[in-house]
Amino acid sequence: MNAHSARRSTRWLPDPATVDEYRTFFATAARNPAMLGAATPTSSAVAATVAQVVPTTGTPVVVELGPGTGSLSCGIQERLPQGARHVGIELNEDLVAHLRTHKPWLEVVHGNAEELHKVLADLQIDRVDAVVSSIPWSLLPDDTQDHILGQVADALVPHGAFTALTYLTALYREGGKKFRRRLGATFDEVLTHTTWLNFPPALHYLCRRPLSVDKRVITSA
């Protein structure tokens, strides 16, 4: 077989890095379904949409909550200018190991999004321009949702943005409805976008202008 026909015969094979990403994701999801809260890694189309909150100029600091195998991280990284910081806080240690091997450009912290302020202090970060999250918000108890969202709002600069990637199906869960109400109570502007070409359809929240703590009125949560 010459080089040309060898290339042709492998053209339809998936890229080994993608195979490895899916293998790691499925193996981890099988062991910890609630921690992952998703059936597959996010598609690159969804990642590109979500990553639009990331500034392409200056020296922004972007924090990703729950980078998993790094599907969103790649979309973020493609936009980031030179000198930016991109920190990922990931709870699952197998995924942390995967990220450290396959996405060496990401500052990965093995930790819990609930410890956002401590993580930022440890990394000597005092301002965050964007927070991108794909943790399973609708499965989190009320006080945990409050605790993490409050820290996100406090960490963001006034013109900063927060985005949460969830699934349309999460809106049928009590936790998903509460999360939506909490976003409205924490940010001045909350927009939604649905990506139907994803399984299940993805629902993104895009939130801007975090409210000061005295203005965050959480009702009927």
Ligand X SMILES: C[S@@+](CC[C@H](N)C(=O)[O-])C[C@H]1O[C@@H](n2cnc3c(N)ncnc32)[C@H](O)[C@@H]1O
Residue 101 vs residues 17, 71, 160: alpha-carbon distances, Å: 11, 14, 30
Least Å from the CB of residue 41 to ligand X: 4
Residue placing its CB nearer to ligand X in the complex, 26 or 184? 26
Kindly state the smallest distance separating residue 217's Cβ from ligand X, in Å. Answer: 25
Only one of the segments 78-86, 87-95, 182-190, 197-205 lies at the binding site for ligand X (rule: CB under 6 A); that segment is 87-95
- HSE at residue 42, side-chain half, CA atoms within 13 A, is 32
* Residue from 113, 119, 155, 202 binding ligand X (CB under 6 A): 113
Residue 210 binds ligand X (CB under 6 A): no
Residue with tokens 């979500």: 50
Which residue lies nearer to ligand X by CB, 117 or 215?
117
Nearer to ligand X, 135 or 156 (CB): 135
78 vs 188, beta carbon nearer ligand X: 78
| 95 makes contact with ligand X (CB under 6 A) | yes
Q: Which stretch binds ligand X (CB under 6 A): 3-11, 109-117, 179-187, 208-216?
A: 109-117
CB of 199 to ligand X, least distance (A): 13
Smallest gap, in angstroms, from Cβ of residue 39 to ligand X? 9
Which among 98-106, 117-125, 133-141, 170-178 is the span making contact with ligand X, rule CB under 6 A? 133-141
C-alpha triplet 92, 121, 62: angle, nearest 5°? 65
- The position carrying tokens 């924490």 is 186
For residue 153, which of 196, 109, 212, 197 has the smallest C-alpha distance?
A: 212
Contact 218, 187 (CB under 8 A): no
Amino acid at 122: D
| Contacts (CB under 6 A) with ligand X, residues 20-79 | 35-38, 41-42, 65-68, 71-72
Would you say 139 or 209 has its CB closer to ligand X?
Answer: 139
Separation CA 41–CA 19 (nearest Å):
11
Where would I find the H helices in 80-190? 93-102, 116-122, 142-155, 174-186
User: How far is C-alpha 22 from the geometric centre of its chain's CA atoms?
Assistant: 17
Strand ranges in the chain using DSSP code E only, listed in sequence order: 61-65, 85-90, 107-110, 128-133, 156-167, 187-195, 202-210
Contact residues toward ligand X (CB under 6 A) are: 35-38, 41-42, 65-68, 71-72, 89-92, 95, 112-114, 134-136
